[in-house]
Amino acid sequence: MNPKYNALFEPFTLNDGIQLKNRLVLAPMTHSSSNPDETVSDAELEYYASRTTGVGLAITAVAHVTPGGKGFANQFRAVGEEFTPGLTRLAETLKKNGAKAVLQIFHAGRLAPPELVDGDVTAPSAVPSERGDGGQGPTPRELTGQEIEDIIKDFGKATANAIAAGFDGVEIHGANGYLIQQFFSPHSNRREDKWGGDVHQRLAFPLAVVDEVQRVVKEQAKGPFIVGYRFSPEEPETPGITMADTLVLIDALADKNLSYLHTSLMEYTSVPRRGVEDTRSRLVIIQERVGAKVPVIGVGSVKTPDDAAAVLETGAPLVALGRQLIVDPTWVEKVQSGREDEILYTISKNDQKALTLPDPLWNMVINIPGWFPIVEAEESAK
């Protein structure tokens, strides 16, 4: 192995005492490949088996905690005893080669496709997303106080299911515009009760979810159990979450003794758009702010080994790979064995079988413009 990549393969111990065999993380990636009954499919297991032989931590695609929170077609569910057998097989698959297995859990809120939730799209307030078709999503129904309390309990139930299934932990998905982020955002949360208000008051729901998840872990886990939290540092909307708001959020999360904080970034080098006067990258700012209290996972267009090493150079102790492990499932093994010059960075339309990609994911990879670098077969083979 090239010595400049040694740091990527050093063990790391999370705040909960769980040791990871290295600093590399399989990022959660939506693949829409579960069975129609929302159980884990064989195709998903094959997909994960081919991508978890080298990483230290493997985070699943997101699982919804309640039917009304479904965000994608063919997505597995986290709550309900009938889903535990499939989740157990998934946990076993992720852990087979030494990775720690984490189940990501969420509620889609106003980003739930209406056809997947019987038309009952819900959110903190009746404010449509600006990210739907034509620049606006459907106007959601404002959640009642009781519904909010029930959803918080559903996150606890999902955590109990993850424990029963043998996962090493859960990741609370508070990023990418979904419900937990919606409660923190001034765009989507206009409430005047205890769940809304200024930036500090809008922390109520995210922190309540963390508290419920940690309560269940304390009561039901038989040993150390990972509880991570993913967040998006900023929103493009006005009003929306600014970098200054995010500093308030991560300060509060850092006091919760979480296992890690996972940034959600398109580019690990991206800089703040508003809220702070700072030209450094968001990742550097976040690491400096809370890294001494809670480990930070850096992510965002990490393609080359040099990219991964650059993330660690920010001080963040862990680096996640998403799309790159779809493009080349053996990326980690190639770097570790000194074969980084063999890493693949493009996909051809003949590669589905070799990449072990389920049909729904393959169709997205090929048909979503600009998502993946698609080339002609001859060019990919070079």
Q: What are the residues facing 261 on neighbouring strands?
A: 229, 296
pLDDT tens-place string over residues 155-168 = 999 999 999 999 99
As a whole number, the mean pLDDT across the chain is 96
Residue 382 has what pLDDT? Answer: 42
Res. 321: pLDDT tops 70: yes
Residue 378 lies in a domain: no
Res. 378: pLDDT tops 70: no
Residue 64 lies in a domain: yes
Q: How many domains does the chain have?
A: 1
- Per-residue pLDDT band for 377 (boundaries 50, 70, 90) equals low
Residue 57 lies in a domain: yes
Q: Rounded CA gap, 88 and 33, in Å?
A: 17
Instruction: Give the number of other CB atoms < 10 A from CB of residue 79.
Output: 23
Q: Rounded CA gap, 279 and 301, in Å?
A: 19
Residue 356 lies in a domain: no
Extract the tokens encoding 318.
Answer: 């862990």
Do residues 43 and 353 touch, judged by C-beta distance below 8 A?
Answer: no
- DSSP conformation letters of 130-189: SSSGGG--PPPEEPPHHHHHHHHHHHHHHHHHHHHHT-SEEEEEE-TT-HHHHHH-TTT-
pLDDT tens-place string over residues 332-368 = 999 999 999 999 999 999 999 999 999 999 999 999 9
Residue 223 lies in a domain: yes
Residue 41 lies in a domain: yes
Q: What are the residues facing 350 on neighbouring strands?
A: none
pTM here?
0.97
Q: What are the residues facing 375 on neighbouring strands?
A: 348
pLDDT tens-place string over residues 59-90 = 999 999 999 999 999 999 999 999 999 999 99
Beta strands in 280-364 (DSSP E): 296-298, 318-321, 347-348
Alpha-carbon distance values, 196 to 71, 78, 145, 182 (Å): 23, 27, 11, 11
Our answer to whether residue 5 is catalytic in this structure is no
Extract the tokens encoding 194.
Answer: 């205890």
The dihedral sign for the CA sequence 209, 210, 214, 217: positive
Dihedral, 182, 205, 316, 310 alpha carbons, nearest 10: -10
Residue 135 has what pLDDT? Answer: 76
Q: How far is C-alpha 94 from the chain's CA centre?
A: 16
Dihedrals φ, ψ of 266, to 5°?
Answer: -75, -30
The dihedral sign for the CA sequence 106, 110, 112, 118: positive
Do residues 100 and 58 touch, judged by C-beta distance below 8 A?
Answer: yes
Range of the domain at 202: 3-345
Residue 247 lies in a domain: yes
Do residues 274 and 240 touch, judged by C-beta distance below 8 A?
Answer: no
The catalytic position among 5, 47, 48, 178 is: 178
Do residues 58 and 45 touch, judged by C-beta distance below 8 A?
Answer: no
Residue 381 lies in a domain: no
CATH code, domain carrying 172: 3.20.20.70
Q: Rounded CA gap, 318 and 199, in Å?
A: 28
The residues near 286 (Cβ < 8 Å, ≥ 6 apart) are 233, 246, 250, 261, 263, 296, 316
Extract the tokens encoding 253.
Answer: 């999360």
